[in-house]
Amino acid sequence: MGHHMPREELEPFFSPRSIAVVGASRDPSKAGYQIVLNLKAKFRGKIYPINPYADEILGLKCFKSVSEVPDHIDLAVISVPADTVLKVVEECGLKGIRRVIVISAGFREIGPEGAERERKLIEIAKKYNIRVLGPNCVGVYVPKTGVNTTFLNPSKMGFPPEGHIAFISQSGAFGVAVLDWAAMRGLGISKFISIGNRADVDEADLLEYLVDDEDTRVITMYVEGVENGRRFVEALRKTTPRKPVIALKSGRSEAGARAIASHTGSLAGSDAIYDAVFKQTGVIRAYGMEDLFDMAVALALQPPARGKRVAILTVGGGSGVMATDAAIDLGLEVPRLSDSTIEKLRRVLLPIASPYNPVDVTGSARDEHLIEAVEILMRSGEIDAIIWIPYFMVPGITESIVEKFVERVKKVNRELDTPIPIVGAATGGEYTWRLASKAEKMGIPMYLSVERAAKAVWALYRYGEWLRRVGSFEEYVEKFRKLVGM
Amino acid sequence: MGHHMPREELEPFFSPRSIAVVGASRDPSKAGYQIVLNLKAKFRGKIYPINPYADEILGLKCFKSVSEVPDHIDLAVISVPADTVLKVVEECGLKGIRRVIVISAGFREIGPEGAERERKLIEIAKKYNIRVLGPNCVGVYVPKTGVNTTFLNPSKMGFPPEGHIAFISQSGAFGVAVLDWAAMRGLGISKFISIGNRADVDEADLLEYLVDDEDTRVITMYVEGVENGRRFVEALRKTTPRKPVIALKSGRSEAGARAIASHTGSLAGSDAIYDAVFKQTGVIRAYGMEDLFDMAVALALQPPARGKRVAILTVGGGSGVMATDAAIDLGLEVPRLSDSTIEKLRRVLLPIASPYNPVDVTGSARDEHLIEAVEILMRSGEIDAIIWIPYFMVPGITESIVEKFVERVKKVNRELDTPIPIVGAATGGEYTWRLASKAEKMGIPMYLSVERAAKAVWALYRYGEWLRRVGSFEEYVEKFRKLVGM
C-alpha cells in the first residue's frame, strides 16, 4: 500500500464530509443501529444508512446499497456479516469510496478461513485504491468532528471531550473502556483509533499521520504486537523528536504472550525486543491504563523537564514525605535548596513552615504562601520540576487559589528561559476534585495521589531527556510554549 | 502507662456517652467550632462545649470549664492554645475525665520547649490515670457512633460510611485527605485514629485494641516512624495471625527520611529495619495511598487465598492479557487449566470464546457465560483466586449480572472446603461504576484497572501465605466465613 502521504490519505477517516453506514439497522441490539445513533449524536456531515430492507433508520433516509446514494461518500463504515464484507467493499470501490472502516469480525482472528478472507479484502482494497481500517475493530472516535463509529449503547458508556491526547488501541474492548473512563475523568481526546487486525492501516501509518496532526500533542498506544517491526521503528524514530509517544505493551510475561496468541492469533514477540525498541526510539513505556494516561495528561499540558531535580511544595508534611519517596524511587532527585533560596522562602512563609525541600507550608497556610513559594522555587534555578500538593480543604486555602496559583505559574514561566513543569497531587473527595479539575482545565495536571504525580513528573523528565539526546529540546519547548501560551 | 486492658482503656475514645469540647468556639474559622459542628452531625451522646466567654455554641449550652459540667464526661477533646493545655488537662483530671484527645499543636514537634510541655502533659496524665491521644492530632472518626473530632469544614470534605477498615495515621492532614477520598470512593471505615505525637496512646495500644474490635476486619496504618520498636513488633506479632495489617511506611528514601525529620522532629529509622520487621511479622507493606486501600478492601471483603494460582475471567481479550502480565509481575501464577476443565468451559461458553486461562468469554458473551464459567473455575481445584473483568457495557451483559454473579459465587463458596477469593476489574465510566459499586457493596472488591485488581489478589495470597505459616489459616477462614455468611 502507499504510505507516502499519510496526512491526506488518512484525514477522511477523521473528518469526512459524508459517511455511509453499511449494515445500518433498526434493531437496537445490532452494532449497525448503535453506530448510526452514535454518529447522529455529534457528526454534522451527511450520514447515509445502507440497508436493503429499510426505508428509514433513526429518522435518516436509508439506501439499498452505496451505489444508490446520489452524493459522494468520503467514508464507509461496514458492519455486516463477515461473508458479505468483500462484496460490500467491492461496491464501495465501484462507488468511488476510498476510505473504509471494517467493523465486522470473522477475519484473521478466527483462523485460516478468516485469514484468506482478509487477504481477499486487501486485494479488493488495492484494486480500488481504498485505505482500510480494521477489520475486527471499533473504528474511530473524534470529538472535534463528531465522527464516532463505536457501537456500544451510549446509555452504558460515555465519550470524552475534545483534547490533546491521541489513543491507538489494538484492543477494541479495552479502547472503548478507556473512552468511557476518560469521559468520567474529564480527560480530553484528539483522536481514538481502534486498529483491529490492521490489515491495511497500521500503527506506523497512524504515527505518520498524528505527528502532523495539530490537535494531537501526545500519542498513546495499546500494543499487543506489531507486524512490520522495521516500519514501526522508523515511524517511532520520526515521531518522538516532535511528539511524545507512550506505549502500553502487553504480553510482557510468557503467560501474557500465550494469552495474546489465543485471543488474536498473533505473536506477541519477545518483550525484551520491544523494550529495547522503546528505549532506542524514545518511547515512554507505561505499565497499566492509569499509568498510560497519567503520563499522557502531564505531557499534554506541561513542558518537558530539563533535568531530574524536583521541588515538592506541600500543605501536608506526610504527603511531602511520600512524594519524596515516590520521586526517589523513580530515579528523580529531591535536592536540598540553597541557603539563599531557603532564606527567601522563610521570608514569605509562616514561622512554623519548613522552607527546605519538601517545602511544607503547613495546614495553617493561606493561598499567598503557596503562590509566593512557587515563584521562588521556579526562579531559583535549583530545580527542574515541581510537585504541588495543595490540600484544598484546609481553612486558609480558598477556592480562588486555583486561578491565582495557575496565573502566577504561567506568568513566571513566560519570563523564564526554560519553563518549569508543574503537576499537582490532590488526595480528597468531591470538593477537592472540583478544584483539582479546574486546575487541570487551566493547565496543571492533577492526580489523586502523590505517587501518581511523581510518575507524571518522571514522564516529563524522561521525555525532556530524550529531546535533549536527539537535540530537539529547544525546538519542542518553543513550539509547546506557543501552543499553550506559556 | 498501663497497657493491660487496651479494650476497656481505649473504648471511651470511640464510643463515649459524653464529650466535652474544651476550646469550643463560635468562630467558624476556629477548630473549636468545626469540632462541635462535626460532632453534632452524627454523635448521639451528650456534647458539652467549654468556653468561658460563650453561653451557647451551635445551639448547645456552653460551660466555663469542665468542672462546671453537672454530669460525668467520658472524653474531653482539647483545642486550646498550647500554653493552656496543661491547665485544662489538670482540670480534666480533677473532674474525673479519664480520656483526653489533645488536638492542639505546640509540643514536641516544635522543639525543646514543646518537648518539655509534652513531658509535663504526660506527668499530669499519669497523676490522674488519664489516657491521652495526641497531642498535635486530629483525633478520631467513628461512623458507627458518630464520634468525629476532626476540625475541617465539612463543606470542604466528606466522611466515609461505616465499614470494616481501621486506619491509624501518624499524619493528621493525610488522614483527613484519606477520609475525604474514602467518602467519594464509598470505602467503609470502622475507626480512624490520628495519633499525632502519640505522647501516650500509640500504634501498639491501638493494634491491641483493634485486634479485638468486632467492627474491624483489616488494620491499615500510615507510619513515619515508631518510638517503642519492641512493643510495636510484639503488638504486630499478636495481631497478624488474627487480622491483616497493611502499613504504608514513608521515609523509605534518605531524602524522605530527612523530610520526616524536618516535619515532625522524629527519626524515621532505617527503612531496611522496618522492611525486615514487616516481613517477620506478616505485615503487608503498601507503597502508596491507593495501594494501601486497594489491598485493604480486598482483605475486608474476601477470604485469603490458599495459593498463588490465579484464574482470569474476562469479557475483553486485551484486559485478560494485561491482567496476566500484572499477576505474573507480582509473582503470582496464571496456570494452564486441565483438559477436563477446558472441556467443561467449552460446553457452556460461546464457540468463539477462549476457554484457556485467561478465560475470554468475548464481547459477545451474555450474563450466563460469566456465571457458569466462574462456577467451573471455582470448583476446578486448579486455581486459588479469580480476577473477574466483566465489561458491563457490552450488549449481552445486563444490569442484573451483578446480583446473579455474586449470588452464584457465594453459593459455590459456601459449598467449597476452602472458599475461593474473587476480585473484579471494571475500567469504565459512570454506568460501569454504578454496577461495580453495587458488586462491591455485595462483597466483591472492584478496581478501576486490572493492575490494581491483580495487586489486590496478591494481598489475598500474601496474607493467606502468612496465615499458613503461623498455622492460623483454617481458623481465620472459619471466622471470616461466619462474618460474611460465606
CA angle A332, A333, A335 (to 5 degrees): 165
Set of chain B residues whose Cβ sits within 8 Å of the Cβ of A334: 255, 259
Q: How far apart are CA B111 and CA B226, in angstroms?
A: 18
Restricting to A residues 41-100, those with a Cβ less than 8 Å away from any Cβ of B are none
Q: Is B41 helix (H, G, I), strand (E, B) or coil?
A: helix
- Pick from B250, B262, B450: CB nearest A356: B262
* C-alpha distances out from residue A384 to A323, A346, A421, A471, B91, Å: 16, 21, 7, 18, 53
pTM: 0.96
Can you give the pLDDT at residue B261? 78
* CATH number, domain B303-484, options 1.10.10.10, 3.40.50.261, 3.40.50.970, 3.10.20.30: 3.40.50.261
**Most B CBs within 10 Å, among A38, A322, A346, A399, to test the B interface:** A322
Measured between CB atoms, does B174 come within 8 Å of chain A?
A: yes
Compute mean pLDDT per 10 residues along chain B, 486 residues long, and list them: 70 98 96 97 97 96 97 97 97 98 94 96 98 97 98 95 97 96 96 96 97 97 92 97 97 87 67 94 97 98 98 96 97 97 98 94 96 98 98 95 98 97 96 97 97 98 98 98 91
Can you give the pLDDT at residue B22? 98
Contact A156 B392 (CB under 8 A): yes
Q: How far apart are CA A352 and CA A404, in angstroms?
A: 23
Q: Which residue of B has its CA nearest to A452?
A: B288
Q: Is B79 helix (H, G, I), strand (E, B) or coil?
A: coil
Name the minimum distance, in Å, from the CA of A327 to any CA of chain B. Answer: 9
Contact B321 A170 (CB under 8 A): no
Bridge partner list, A310: A385
User: Residue A157 burial by CB count (10 A; 0-12/13-18/19+): exposed, middle or buried?
Assistant: buried
- Pick from A260, A317, A448: CB nearest B173: A317
Q: Is A193 helix (H, G, I), strand (E, B) or coil?
A: strand
DSSP letter string over B211-236? TT-TT-SEEEEEES--S-HHHHHHHH
Helix (H) or strand (E) holding A322, with range, is: helix A317-329
Measured between CB atoms, does B389 come within 8 Å of chain A?
A: no
User: Which residue ranges of chain A lie beneath pLDDT 70?
Assistant: 1-4, 263-268
Q: How far apart are CA B80 and CA B32, in angstroms?
A: 8
Set of chain B residues whose Cβ sits within 8 Å of the Cβ of A394: 152, 173
Q: How far apart are CA B84 and CA B100, in angstroms?
A: 14
Can you give the pLDDT at residue B1? 45
Query: Which CATH number is associated with domain A6-298?
Result: 3.40.50.261
Q: What would the pLDDT profile of A342-385 be if each residue is shown by its tens digit?
A: 999 999 999 999 999 999 999 999 999 999 999 999 999 999 99
Name the minimum distance, in Å, from the CA of A115 to any CA of chain B. Answer: 16
Contact A328 B256 (CB under 8 A): yes
Query: Within 13 Å and on the Cβ side, how many CA atoms surround B343?
Result: 3
Query: Within 13 Å and on the Cβ side, how many CA atoms surround B77?
Result: 32
Restricting to A residues 368-387, those with a Cβ less than 8 Å away from any Cβ of B are none
Under 8 Å between Cβ of B344 and B376 = yes
Q: Which residue of B has its CA nearest to A261?
A: B321
Name the minimum distance, in Å, from the CA of B267 to any CA of chain A. Answer: 13
Set of chain B residues whose Cβ sits within 8 Å of the Cβ of A333: 255
Torsion over CA of B62, B195, B3 and B274, rounded to 10 degrees?
180
Give B328's contacts (C-beta < 8 A, 6+ positions apart): A252, A253, A254, A255, A256, B334
Within 10 A of A97 (CB to CB), how many other CB atoms are there?
25
Contact A322 B253 (CB under 8 A): no
Q: How far apart are CA B217 and CA B211, in angstroms?
A: 8
Measured between CB atoms, does B451 come within 8 Å of chain A?
A: yes
Q: How far apart are CA A175 and CA A137, in angstroms?
A: 10
Can you give the pLDDT at residue A2? 45
* C-alpha distances out from residue B261 to A356, A450, B111, B254, Å: 11, 19, 12, 11
Pick the closest to residue B148 from B347, B158, A438 (CA basis). B158
Name the minimum distance, in Å, from the CA of B248 to any CA of chain A. Answer: 9
- Pick from A250, A259, A321: CB nearest B259: A321
Q: How far apart are CA A141 and CA A144, in angstroms?
A: 9
Q: Is A314 helix (H, G, I), strand (E, B) or coil?
A: strand
Contact B318 A224 (CB under 8 A): yes
Q: Specify the domain boundaries for CATH 3.40.50.261 within chain B.
A: 6-298, 303-484
Set of chain A residues whose Cβ sits within 8 Å of the Cβ of B432: 156-157, 177, 180
Q: In what order do the strands lie in the sheet with A446-447?
A: A359-360, A310-314, A385-389, A422-425, A446-447
Measured between CB atoms, does A284 come within 8 Å of chain B?
A: no
Q: What would the pLDDT profile of B1-30 be if each residue is shown by its tens digit?
A: 445 677 889 999 999 999 999 999 999 999
Measured between CB atoms, does B350 come within 8 Å of chain A?
A: no
Give A143's contacts (C-beta < 8 A, 6+ positions apart): A42, A159, A160, A161, A162, A163, A188, A189
Contact B317 A263 (CB under 8 A): yes
Can you give the pLDDT at residue A321? 96
Q: Is A70 helix (H, G, I), strand (E, B) or coil?
A: coil
Q: Which residue of B has its CA nearest to A268?
A: B321
Measured between CB atoms, does A170 come within 8 Å of chain B?
A: yes
Q: How far apart are CA A186 and CA B429, in angstroms?
A: 10
Measured between CB atoms, does A261 come within 8 Å of chain B?
A: no
Can you give the pLDDT at residue A48? 98
- Pick from B253, B354, B429: CB nearest A262: B354
